[in-house]
Amino acid sequence: MRIIHFADLHLGVENYGHLNPATGLSSRLEDFLRVFDEVVDYALDNKVDLVVFAGDAYKSREPTPTQQREFAKRINRLASNGVAVFLLVGNHDLPNAVGKATATEIFDTLAVKNVVVSSRPDVHRIETRGGPVQVASLPWPRRGLLLSKEATKDLTIEEIKQRMQETLTRIIANHAARLDPAVPAILAAHVWVTGASAGSEKMVTIGQDHSLLPGNVANPAFDYVALGHIHKRQILRENPPVVYSGSLERIDFSEEDDDKGFFVVDIQSSGTAGRRTELEFHAVGARRFLTIGVDVQPDDLDPTSTILAGIDKQVEYVKDAIVRLQLSLPATSQAMVRDADLRNTLKEAYHCTISREIRDEVRARLGNLAAGELTPVEALKVWLETKKVPPERIKVLLEYAEKLKGES
């Protein structure tokens, strides 16, 4: 049994993008679709039996018709070529009100062959060209469906979280008890598991998330645990593998250093020893994010050259990347920075922003006197001496300074 596990597609994230006049689509939507195509291409080229998507197809709970069309195109390409597809509902997929449909439920409504959608906890037996597989599902837990208002009305937030954790743990245990041990089984869950390292999803109030302990999901009845919700790829447990595949495309700079891709999972029979699970991560060509930081010193007489030298150190990574140039410089250097030169050097970037942290430098003390206690000519003399200017040169410059002062 060969399975692909991916999650957190988030179609509709369009920050740092622009309209592509040739297609009418956001260039960032095209980024997300391109990496999705890499998953589909791999599945078709490598005889994958089942593709498990662990939730969050869209950024918005009400995706545009265009986003839904593009998602459906790729799901249909898999399903019509004999690849079974399992779609789990994540928190971004939920409707705004109880009773409304999720965007992915259309596949169930139309009874699309080879596509199974799970919006409620259940155990699904799926027939694939490689044989049957069991998928125990745990979509994003909606408290209103799992706990009644009556049961929680007198509980604190922490007590409600504890009650939810107990309920979710019981659901997983019940799923495991329903499994046929002779058939490969996986758990697909869109949840926060304690101990996971968060990516950009931490910007969504994770403090409100209902969490599970790793031991709650690592039930030995499962051959593999496919997780969604956290955007950072990670393996939490080895036996059985408890895995966040992470998001397919980088969302923002919090994911700058994260590898993006999907897992290929092979579940193989080991005879009397049962089954063995092997997994391998496959990277996709996600858009590169690049931060370039340059610190300009107060005595720098040509800050633009200093900044360009900082860019040059990473210039090989600039092309087609989303770049942020972060400058830290004293207020006195602001007017000396030539923005046009910086942007020209970064012109091959896909998108570029320049931010400045302006420092209010503490006025330095010159000898035993503060700079404010000296006359301008005295301050010039001390400064020239600190720069080790020859005495005869200092004398000439001071004479000119006195002359300029007298003419002012």
Residues of the chain with CATH 3.60.21.10: 2-283
Predicted local confidence at residue 111, as pLDDT = 86
Domain at 2-283: CATH architecture: 4-Layer Sandwich (3.60)
Specify which residues 2 forms β-bridges with.
266
Burial of 156 (0-12, 13-18, 19+ CB in 10 A): exposed
H and E: helices and strands count for the chain:
11, 19
The alpha helices in 93-228, defined as continuous H runs, are: 106-109, 143-146, 149-152, 157-178, 214-217
Q: Which of 343, 326, 327, 336 is nearest to 299 (CA)?
A: 336
**How far apart (Å, rounded) are the C-alpha atoms in residues 174 and 168?**
10
**How far apart (Å, rounded) are the C-alpha atoms in residues 300 and 309?**
13
**How far apart (Å, rounded) are the C-alpha atoms in residues 113 and 230?**
29
The pTM (predicted TM-score) of the whole model is: 0.83
pLDDT digit string, tens, across residues 33-90: 999 999 999 999 999 999 999 999 999 888 999 999 999 999 999 999 999 999 999 9
**How far apart (Å, rounded) are the C-alpha atoms in residues 382 and 283?**
59
The residues near 92 (Cβ < 8 Å, ≥ 6 apart) are: 10, 55, 56, 57, 58, 59, 60, 61
Q: How much of the chain, in percent, has pLDDT values that exceed 90?
A: 66
pLDDT digit string, tens, across residues 167-224: 899 999 999 999 999 999 999 999 999 888 876 555 444 445 678 889 889 999 999 9
